[in-house]
A and B are shown apart, each in its own frame.
Chain A
Amino acid sequence: MEFTLLPLAILFTSLGIVPLLFALPERSARLRTTINLTAAAIKVGLVAWLSWRVSQGTIYGVGFEVLPGLAFKLQADPLAILFIALSSILWLITTIYSVGYLEKGPHRARFFGFFSLCVAATVGIAMAGNLFTFLLFYELLTIATYPLVIHRGTAEALRAGRIYLIYTLAGGLVLLVGTLWLWVMAGSTDFAAGGMMADIAAASPVQALMLFVVLIAGLGVKAALVPFHAWLPIAMVAPAPVSALLHAVAVVKAGAFGIMRVVYEVFGIHVAVDLGVTLPLAIAAGITIIYGSLRALTQDDIKKRLAYSTVSQVSYITLGVALASPIAAIGALAHLIHQGLMKITMFMAAGNLAEGLGVKSVSAMNGVGRRMPGTMLAFTLAALAMIGLPPLAGFVSKWYLASGGLDAGQGWVIALLLASSLLNAAYFLPMLHRAWFVDADAGAGAQESARQRPIGWMLSAPPLVTAALVLIAGGLANAPFSPLEWTRFVVAIEYRE
């Protein structure tokens, strides 16, 4: 156990540079970029090392007890690695994108400070060894993202920030109550493979049931489960890299990841099935999937359409968790990664369209394929992956989810996924059609898209890289260390008897 401090080191690469970034004067942009990129690169390296060690069977953990049964505990288990790997790789890419995006913009010190804090919080959420630690970082995430959402300082941004805070703080409050309740009831809030509620649920099923509802409702706010989703499409006024990170890694994923921890490692999947809570959760996720897609259909604002699409897609994860089948669980966990890669690509591409061409609405997208081929190629790959076309990432998770639905004896899941794919096609294909097959001078938004300014490689390269990852994650799904393979490893542990 000579490397017990490795999880702390990974947390520190994001957290430790925060004071440094705040302290730096606004104008020393080069130094700030160097610090950011170095830390992000070191973190990717450390995470690679950590995943290798964990795949060899080592589990890292550090912690100390605050109150009896209430410990601050970080633990790098395979499930945590999944989330850390996503967050560290996308942090590196998004940092490059943000540097390009905010070039010469105001308040960069503040922005990058909170940006790092936000990423540190996701690392903490991933490695939290118990619900108490999870809650601490969960609240830190809320606080760290607020300044990012209102970064532009416009009236609209401030309003969005207010709504965002109301929702997430309320959700956090509910989660706090749930955590305390769990602590009182079980004497511990530890995450453990297979859960720890078996005896308690057997003794007092009603209390366990209510506790489940409270915990999931608290987490459901960030996971954007209907009806707690409304903050997400409003928060898309944030700058493009923030939206990208918010939708791919940080906030919604924290919620989905928490749901996964609660179902699998607090209650345990078998206990949750016995309590009869999994089917209602699956149905709630199903409603969210369809509702989000239906709302996305009518949005003309590109980012708003993408945001409603996130509402829909993130609930795939909840659906897969709630189906209580190992195959569906593999689909859910793989989708955690896959959705992140796809959605970050689309938000960065949308940011490029707005920056380079001033195109912000779907009706102004005519002919943008010819004007920004690289960006639109990335967007196209991600959109086709969302619809679920092989060999792209989205297909793999959809296939496992649908297969898991059959495995769990819930045939309606296939119909649900098909309906969702149809709706995805209905709101993404018209965008691709306009971009590639309609000439630029036609259509209503001609004036909006008239101006053009060149964008640097820092904006154009990141979406291409993530689009390539979308292709690789699907095309090489069976290769070692692919998201799918790692997910199989995680699920094998969770379903171990």
Chain B
Amino acid sequence: MSDIMLYAAIAVPLALAGAAILPAARALVLRLAVIAPLPALALALVAPPSALSEPWLIMGTVIGLDSVSRIFLAFSAILWAAAAATARRWMRGDGHATGFITCFLLAMTGNIGLILAQDAFSFYALFALMSFASFGLVVHARSDKAYRAGRLYIGFVVAGELALFAGLLLASREAGSPLLADLRMAELSGLSVALLIGGFAVKLGIMPLHFWLPPAHGAAPVPASAVLSGAMIKAGLFGMLSSLPLGLHAYPDHATVMLAAGLVTIFAAALIGVREESPKAVLGFSSVSQMGIIALGLGAGLMAPAAWTVLLPVVVFLAAHHALAKGALFLGAGMFGAVTGLRARILVMLALILPAAALAGLTATSGALGKEALKSALETGSADWLPWLIAALTLSGVATTLLMARFAHTLWKQAPGAPEMVRAQPDGLVVPFLGLVALSAILPATWPLIVPEIAFAVIADKTADPLPILVGIVIALAAIIRAHALGIGVQAFIQGITAPFLALRSHIDAASRRRARSLRRAAHRIPAMLSQRAESLRLGQTAIAALILAVIAVGMLEMRNVGAGSAAPMPELGIDMPQPWD
């Protein structure tokens, strides 16, 4: 039974995507997309742990379910279902709806499948399927902005895939097996760990590999950005958890880079994020900032393997928490753009407070529990970094609150545009949006029920201090009041006040732009120059002529040698194969 469920979880979305080839089935596919993630959800909720092996598929495939993948599968399937329900309304009447839903279902297949994959080949295949299919979601709008975001996105995807190819190849040779379980047990070399971390960090959006993330999440239509931000970036985390020997071997150098990147990411993403003018881009930067927190957990695990048993459940919890809250925020942004009238807008805004507060870590929300649990888990690890990490986690509350305030402000000023059909009838968006809000709000209560095997004790008795959030709110309010007092508007005020912090960034930006420009120029010039040279030199003809001359010259020299040498007896030639004419 659970074998059939394992197959169905991958096959149902894939089959639906395939059905989009038939013109007659297209309308139905858009309507049925919402059921595509349900087999995966059922699998996550009821199936016993299992694994099944198909040795003839690719180069030996194993799929299965364990306690960590069960949680990733559960929240990913929920997000995909909510996004599909939204997409059903959002895409009605869209000229490119078929292309969108095909890419959407393929990305869903990849995302669900990679969570179930237990060997390097199928994992890599499904990870690539998800990443490449998502390109269609990013460029869906077919505007210049979307194409720019798409170019950036695909560039990072290709770079990440190449790093993963090399990383998985090296790691599976070192482990002597392509099974991910064996990779987790092996003492991998620093190079392969670095390649794996690099490849997955692209998807996770940890600075400095985050450049693709905010534009892509901003450019994609609302249902797609919900899954991009909620489910798909977690695939990067899942990849690290399922391929690195965390908890067995220490990698202090990698850990140092990871911790430093995490610390920078949390705050730099907030500083850059508040400057954005589009609410979805602000949310994108908030995702980057939140992934910085997860990077702290990963870094601590790489530093001190002994701490991993307590860190793992916290990291998984943080992933689930962020997925639900961020998904709710993206769908809420779409909902806000679709409704008309002040009353409805205020109601949506009020509903949005719940996931926003959870992200910021208000007392008793999932965010607070996650952060407190992370703090106490970090205490079991390395002492050197501890004060910094605790301080950063506390201050991250301020950073997230500011981002959420900025999100609310930009949302009010310029909500993301919703299609005409959705504006006329926004009711269809209510259920998925409120569903995610509710699931995010009750996560602290449901967590121990779903995953007793890795639910953790810390969840109950720690109470978070709401002070960082208060500080954040005060700063946000002060900024708004000051901006109004100066009469320059909030945007200009933020630009002015963050300018000193960002002088460094603009330097980096300018430098990297210059570098990119010169690289691009070289990339055009080298092939062009090669073509020109090759044609002007008649390289091939010259080479052929030289070859023939050389052969003639060698031949004339050899005539004598062969004549002299042929006096020696012919050697007996051993032939391995049975020759039928002998």
A residues with CB within 8 A of B:
1, 4, 59-63, 77, 166-167, 170-171, 173-174, 177-178, 181, 184-188, 190, 192-194, 196, 199-200, 203-204, 207, 210, 214, 217, 221, 227-231, 291, 294-295, 297-298, 373, 377, 384, 388-391, 395-396, 398-399, 402-403, 406, 414, 418, 421-422, 425-426, 429, 433, 436-439, 474-480, 484, 493, 496
Contacts and interface: CB of A to CB of B under 8 A. Distances in A.
6 contacts: A177-B555, A178-B551, A204-B565, A295-B530, A402-B169, A403-B169
A476 B57 contact: yes
The winner among A184, A204, A399 for most chain B CB atoms within 10 A is: A399
A418 B121 contact: no
A453 to B, nearest CB: 21
A181 B555 contact: yes
Given A177-B551, A228-B540, A476-B56, A4 B166 contact: no
Nearest to B168: A399
A438 B575 CA distance: 60
B28 interface: no
B136 A437 contact: yes
Contact of B527 (A295, A390, A395, A418): A295
Contacts of B59: 396, 399, 477-478, 484
B213 to A, nearest CB: 20
Contact of B578 (A59, A297, A402, A477): A59
A170 B169 contact: no
Contacts of B159: 422
Given A291-B530, A406-B173, A227 B128 contact: no
Given A170-B547, A187-B570, A476-B56, 18 more contacts: A61-B581, A174-B547, A190-B573, A192-B573, A207-B558, A229-B540, A230-B541, A294-B530, A298-B524, A389-B128, A390-B125, A391-B58, A391-B121, A421-B162, A475-B57, A476-B58, A478-B55, A478-B56
A458 to B, nearest CB: 20
Contact of A438 (B57, B142, B158, B558): B142
Nearest to A407: B173
Interface in B528-571: 528, 530-531, 534, 539-544, 547-548, 551, 554-555, 558, 561-562, 565-566, 568, 570-571
A221 to B, nearest CB: 7
Given A214-B551, A390-B121, A475 B58 contact: yes
- Main secondary structure, interface of B, reads helix
B577 interface: yes
A167 B544 CA distance: 7
Contact of A414 (B154, B169, B540, B554): B169
Q: Nearest 8 pairs between A and B by C-beta? A: A230-B540, A390-B125, A199-B571, A227-B543, A479-B56, A192-B575, A298-B527, A294-B527
Given A214-B551, A399-B59, A62 B581 contact: yes
Interface in B129-161: 132, 135-136, 139, 142, 150, 154, 158-159, 161
B548 A173 contact: yes
A63 B527 CA distance: 49
B531 to A, nearest CB: 6
A377 B18 CA distance: 11
Nearest to A369: B99
B431 interface: no
Contacts of A229: 540
Contacts of B173: 403, 406
B486 interface: no
Contact of B132 (A59, A187, A389, A395): A389
The winner among A61, A181, A230, A390 for most chain B CB atoms within 10 A is: A390
A203 B566 CA distance: 12
A390 B577 contact: no
B60 interface: yes
Contacts of A493: 577
The winner among B55, B136, B162, B534 for most chain A CB atoms within 10 A is: B162
A373 B21 contact: yes
Contact of B541 (A166, A297, A484): A166
B341 interface: no
A229 B544 CA distance: 10
